[in-house]
Structure 1
Amino acid sequence: MKRFLPITALAVFAYPAATISCQNGQGAANPQIFWDGGAIPDPVFRTYVLENFDTDRDGKISRKEADAVLAIDLGRLCGESSDTPAIESLAGVEHFRNLKQLICNGHALTELDLSKNTELNILKCKDNQLTTLDLSENTALLTLNCGRNPIKTLDLTENRALSMLVCDYNQLTVFDLSQNTALTQLFCGHNQLTALDLSENTMLTDLWCDYNRLTELDLSKNTELTDLSCGWNPITALDLSENTKLTYLNCLNNQLTALDLSENAALTELYCGYNRLTALDLSENTELIRLGCSDNPLIRLNLSDLAKLEAVSFDYENHEIQVITNSQTAFVSDLTRYMQSIEAEKQKKYRQQEE
């Protein structure tokens, strides 16, 4: 079941990943460890490479050993309780020319040069200190997660094979996705985007663009969309008439005064609270399982067709709202509390009349 917060992106490929022991490198400050005299300045990265890829244990990485490396997974290095310092540089990674997967989340990287790693399919570098990221030579890239970095610009025009992009929690104000026509999943929430042109991304199935500065969102070309989370934006209108495959919609905390869901019969989850809706027609949304519509000036809420409803949240203490149900309606959460409060109010008035 889908949840509110953007999920951590999953890799679309799996390669055998090496492990690291929590020990710092020994010896000279910057020893030459590659066959061509190349070095790895960062002691933690150097130790990782030698422990996992120096198969003949001669203290060097030969060209054959380097070419055999397909995946590097630095992760968080033995967990948060480890005394191993964060990696500050991946200089030396250019020697692994066949590298397909690089995971370096949660370190202290301020730059990342992958211009020689042209076979790279998967890059996960979230939770670092990157301000820029040049991926112009990584044309084989399929999955990119660069979330939680202070990146201000992101040029992906050369990454036309990209299918998954996670760039949330950055400082992006605008970016061009017109060349990324293979994109199916986009997570760009918690940025400063004022516009988002997705007209060329017709294969998009998942879009999470919460916490930006979007005033409008044109999804008319994104007919494959199944998951949409666009909450916490100043969006005033949302046309979903072409998104008939939509199953999950979160448009919380916008400035919507109307929401037409008549073409979205596949919806199973709807969260539209904290808007300005005075009406909400759910007669065509009979597949709804979860509904959240609190903090709207609704005067009428018809739930009589929602037999599959398992959870509902609305202003149940607002006795001005008229809630319509029938014997098929699932009585759950706020709906039950609403009915109980209505009955309590009736009993209170009855007692007052008796007095």
Structure 2
Amino acid sequence: MKKNLKTLAALACCIITTTVFTACNDVDDNPVSPIADGIIINGKNFPDPGFRSFLLGQDYGEDCVLTEAEIKNITQIDVSYSFIESLKGIEYFTALKRLDCEDCELTELDLSKNTALTFLDCCDNNLTSLNVSNNALLDSLDCCYNNLTELNVSKNTALRGLLCYENELTSLDLTKNTALEELDFEFNNITSIDLSNNVALKILYCAGNGITSLDVSKCTALEMLQCGPNKISGQNMDDLIGGLPQNTTSTLYKFNVIDTSYTKFTEENVCTKSQVAALKAKGWNPMQWDDDEYKWVDYPGSDD
């Protein structure tokens, strides 16, 4: 589906290029960068033809110039599912609050000038680094399916949602992110994590990291935990269960503990029948992934 969407996006870019650039040949030949009346949408300011085509296809880009008044009113840009390789020029959009650039061909992304940004989805690109230190207002960040080896979110204290699964991270410091409600760092190389300051956390996905112990005792709002496949067993599983908050609602909280569907990851979690009973006593429902039914089902527990 993604490839089809990307193909359609590429065709759209070609159509826009054909219909718009005809009226902009003189502008594209103009070597001037920012001018008094605005910023020219040309190859110098926006080198990527796909990004340039997108801008020229918007109402504000029809005249090939971005005025100061227009820039102040541009708060969202969505270039997802395209062949765009560079968002050079994004720095001009200083009022930008939301940027969607999922499934492009980006290898770098400079958002240092986009200080108003609250939402960023740069999932499924080719990023090896991502600097969001200037984006202090960021509320939601999705950077999954990239090649990130590190991610610093210490300046993003307003962050409530962080999805960074399927990267190459070995650590993740979340001690400053006390507002965090949803966290997904599945399938990295993060074998341990400190969640002692994440008291607002409700949803946690941490599968596929080789974790041997997990302390969620300070996560008193937690109601969903997916921790399989990992390597949690014995006393460490007891400690994990003991640290879960008591559920006082009528709906069982989800504890997804066993998943053997991944050929790349061996499931080494062990949750015994007595541990299953302890989970249910706290209002949590232990579950395993059923590949045949393609859904999570109740887990009875292994023999004690």
Which of 148, 157, 161 aligns to 1:160? It is: 157
Q: How does 1:1-355 map to 2 (within 5 A)?
A: 21-23=12-14, 25=17, 26=21, 27=25, 28=28, 35-36=38-39, 39-54=45-60, 57-77=62-82, 86-236=83-233, 237-238=236-237, 239-241=240-242, 242-245=244-247, 247-252=253-258, 253-256=267-270, 258=272, 259=275, 260-261=278-279, 263-265=281-283, 267=284, 269-272=285-288, 290-293=297-300, 296-297=302-303
Distance between the aligned counterparts of 1:65 and 1:129, measured in 2? 31
Q: How many residues align?
A: 253
Alpha-carbon separation, structure 1, partners of 2:31 and 2:184: 40
State the secondary structure of the residue aligned to 1:22.
Answer: helix
Measured after TM superposition, the shift of residue 92 of structure 1 is: 0.3
The answer for the alignment partner of 2:3 in structure 1 is: none
Relative contact order: is structure 1 or structure 2 higher (C-alpha 8 Å, sep ≥ 6)?
2
Q: CA RMSD in A?
A: 2.5
CA distance in 2, matches of 1:93, 1:290: 45
Deviation at 1:22, TM superposition (A): 2.9
Q: Which has the higher helix share?
A: 2
**2:39 and 2:66 mapped to 1: Cα distance?**
9
Q: Identity, % of aligned pairs?
A: 35
What letter matches 1:109 in structure 2? L
After TM superposition, give the deviation of residue 63 of structure 1 in Å.
Answer: 1.5
Calculate the TM-score normalised by the size of structure 2.
0.77
Structure 1 Cα separation of the partners of residues 140 and 220 of structure 2: 22
Distance 1:30 1:187 in 2: 46
Label 1:97 to 1:263 Cα distance change in 2 as closer, same or farther (>3 A): same
- Does the CA contact (< 8 Å) of 1:53 and 1:66 recur in 2? no
Q: TM-score, normalised by structure 1?
A: 0.66
Q: Secondary structure at the match of 1:165?
A: strand
Question: Distance in 2 between the 1:32 and 1:293 partners?
Answer: 69
Tell me how far apart the structure 2 counterparts of residues 31 and 50 of structure 1 sit (CA, whole Å).
18
**Using the alignment, how far apart are the partners of 1:30 and 1:131 within structure 2?**
34
Aligned to 1:14: none
Letter matched to residue 106 of structure 2: L
Please list every run of 5 or more consecutive structure 1 residues that lacks an aligned counterpart in the other structure.
Answer: 1-19, 78-85, 275-288, 299-355
Contact 1:33 1:59 in 2 (8 A): no
- Structure number with larger C-alpha Rg: 1
Letter of the 1:244 partner, please give it: Q
